[in-house]
């Protein structure tokens, strides 16, 4: 038989077990927070009919799609979790309760140019709240609350949720007689990346006069506490109706966020946040880690007027965010913000002498019964090899089980990091390690 060299496709993340344990811990914290805030799980297929998935059509996305035929069926791998949500919501409309709060954590596929930190298969962790016809602004307020608790639970102390409302920008542009704000929004979104001068250039290139371009820069740089920014916006006395709606919406949303009671320092109104996608129509969010601005937004989203216009005439407004988990994990790992080196599923490893394997098994079973996170090395081997296994698996404590230990039901507990050994009884073991 000929041997095939085993390898994965480029751009596909695959982790070693220790990294995977860490990855799963992060995924579980996200999941728990999503559930705690009332978002229900769904799990749509990875493969969808191409005509359904690509109903919107066109654009950069379509080139990146994994699309193929099997039999006479044209199918594609999902490239995000939002289009499947739209399809799901309409297909199961009569069986769902609205507002429909759902989360989905799953892999999506984009055949992008492979580069460092960009993956062709990656996890997205999405929450969205979908209304039937209408949806109150309380839901816009709940999104940053979920982000707040999630990132707190992930162990981050310093992060900022940037909140804006597209209507404020759109209305402001309109007050400057800029009616098609698409180009302007896109330029504004780049301020952090390319700087003031370049944004002004881009605005002017899109047909906006230089004076207005400078006013835009001045406007989006309005800064201060949440109340100060709202005050500044009021003081502008802009009479544009869309602007006024946006200001009223963000004021209401901030009020509800305060009712939810998260730390005031964790969020701010940031008029620079526009979100490139023309999809968003109201509140928008980005989240940055204060100490690691170079990572960019780790969690973004916003409010949209209509989720599923490709599938139904019904109006389904929604609001949601997404955490791009694979990319986030890669970045946190690269920046050594997280550390998988000492990750083990176990606190304790039992190493029985070759003639004491049965007794070792009995001990490990008794300990597992008591909820101790323990494993056993059951191969026949020299003690040195057995300890090498313990080293490799990063288990923090080891017990060797020989005849004496069995007779006395007393053990020598070795701390693998310090090398220290202490005598310990079964009951003390349970006390020390029980979950």
**Contacts (CB under 8 A) with a copy of itself, residues 79-118:** 86-88, 90-92, 95-99, 101-102, 107, 109, 111
Enumerate residues 301-340 that contact a copy of itself by CB under 8 A: 308-313
Helix (H) or strand (E) holding 129: strand 121-130
Asked if residues 349 and 387 have their Cβ atoms less than 8 Å apart, the reply is: no
Asked if residues 202 and 187 have their Cβ atoms less than 8 Å apart, the reply is: yes
Tell me which residue of 188, 166, 136, 185 sits closest to 280, measured CA to CA.
166
Asked if residues 300 and 321 have their Cβ atoms less than 8 Å apart, the reply is: yes
Minimum Å distance from CB 423 to a copy of itself? Answer: 25
* 430 contributes a contact to a copy of itself by CB under 8 A: no
Enumerate residues 244-283 that contact a copy of itself by CB under 8 A: 255-256, 259-261
- Of the candidate spans 135-143, 176-184, 228-236, 295-303, the one that interacts with a copy of itself by CB under 8 A turns out to be 135-143
* 60 contributes a contact to a copy of itself by CB under 8 A: no
* Phi, psi of 197, rounded to the nearest 5 degrees: -55, -45
- Strands, sheet with 100-109, edge to edge from the N-terminal-most edge strand: 40-41, 100-109, 121-130, 318-324, 300-304, 283-289, 159-165, 267-269
Whichever of 88 and 243 has its CB closer to a copy of itself, that residue is 88
* 13 contributes a contact to a copy of itself by CB under 8 A: yes
Which residues, 6+ apart, have CB-to-CB distance to 425 below 8 Å?
409, 410, 411
Whichever of 74 and 201 has its CB closer to a copy of itself, that residue is 74
Other CB atoms closer than 10 Å to residue 18's CB: what's the count? Answer: 18
- Of the candidate spans 12-20, 229-237, 277-285, 402-410, the one that interacts with a copy of itself by CB under 8 A turns out to be 12-20
Among 225, 342, 365, 408, binds a copy of itself (CB under 8 A): 365
Enumerate residues 335-364 that contact a copy of itself by CB under 8 A: 345-346, 357-359, 361-362
Enumerate residues 140-199 that contact a copy of itself by CB under 8 A: 141-142, 145
- Of the candidate spans 188-196, 236-244, 289-297, 365-373, the one that interacts with a copy of itself by CB under 8 A turns out to be 365-373
Tell me which residue of 229, 244, 231 sits closest to 175, measured CA to CA.
244
Whichever of 44 and 232 has its CB closer to a copy of itself, that residue is 44
Binding-site residue total for a copy of itself (CB under 8 A)?
97
d(CA 259, CA 268): 16
* 412 contributes a contact to a copy of itself by CB under 8 A: no
Cα angle 190-107-326, degrees, rounded to a multiple of 5: 55
Query: In terms of residues, how long is the chain?
Result: 435
Whichever of 291 and 385 has its CB closer to a copy of itself, that residue is 385
Among 68, 155, 221, 408, binds a copy of itself (CB under 8 A): 68
* 207 contributes a contact to a copy of itself by CB under 8 A: no
d(CA 130, CA 85): 10
């Amino acid at each position: 038989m000929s041997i095939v060299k085993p390898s994965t496709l480029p751009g596909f993340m695959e982790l070693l077990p220790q990294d995977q344990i860490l990855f799963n811990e992060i995924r579980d914290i996200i999941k728990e927070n999503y559930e705690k805030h009332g978002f229900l799980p769904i799990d749509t297929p990875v493969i969808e009919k191409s005509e359904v998935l690509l109903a919107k059509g066109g654009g950069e996305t379509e080139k990146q799609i994994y699309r193929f035929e099997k039999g006479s069926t044209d199918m594609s791998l999902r490239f995000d979790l939002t289009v499947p949500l739209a399809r799901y919501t309409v297909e199961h409309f009569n069986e769902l309760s609205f507002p429909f709060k759902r989360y989905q954590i799953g892999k999506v596929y984009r055949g992008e140019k492979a580069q460092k930190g960009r993956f062709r298969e990656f996890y997205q962790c999405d929450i969205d709240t979908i209304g039937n016809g209408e949806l109150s602004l309380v839901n816009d307020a709940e999104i940053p609350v979920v982000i707040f608790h999630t990132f707190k639970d992930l162990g981050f102390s310093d992060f900022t949720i940037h909140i804006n409302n597209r209507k404020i920008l759109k209305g402001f542009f309109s007050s400057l007689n800029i009616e098609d704000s698409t180009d302007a929004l896109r330029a504004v979104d780049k301020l952090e990346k390319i700087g003031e001068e370049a944004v002004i250039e881009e605005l002017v290139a899109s047909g906006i006069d230089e004076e207005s371009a400078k006013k835009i820069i001045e406007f989006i740089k309005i800064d201060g506490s949440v109340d100060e920014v709202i005050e500044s916006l009021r003081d502008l006395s802009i009479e544009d109706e869309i602007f006024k709606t946006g200001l009223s919406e963000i004021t209401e949303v901030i009020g509800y966020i305060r009712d939810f009671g998260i730390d005031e320092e964790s969020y701010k109104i940031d008029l620079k946040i526009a979100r490139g996608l023309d999809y968003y129509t109201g509140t928008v969010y980005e989240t940055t880690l204060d100490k690691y601005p170079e990572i960019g937004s780790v969690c973004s989203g916003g409010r949209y007027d209509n989720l599923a216009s490709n599938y139904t005439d019904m109006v389904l407004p929604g609001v949601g965010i997404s955490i791009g988990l694979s990319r986030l994990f890669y970045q946190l790992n690269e920046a050594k913000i997280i550390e998988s080196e000492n990750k083990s599923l176990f606190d304790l490893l039992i190493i029985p002498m070759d003639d004491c394997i049965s007794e070792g098994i009995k001990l490990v079973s008794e300990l597992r019964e008591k909820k101790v996170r323990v494993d056993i090395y059951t191969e026949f081997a020299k003690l040195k090899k057995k300890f090498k296994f313990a080293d490799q698996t990063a288990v923090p404590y080891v017990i060797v089980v020989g005849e004496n230990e069995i007779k006395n039901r007393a053990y020598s507990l070795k701390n693998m990091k310090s090398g220290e050994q202490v005598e310990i009884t079964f009951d003390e073991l349970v006390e020390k390690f029980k979950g």
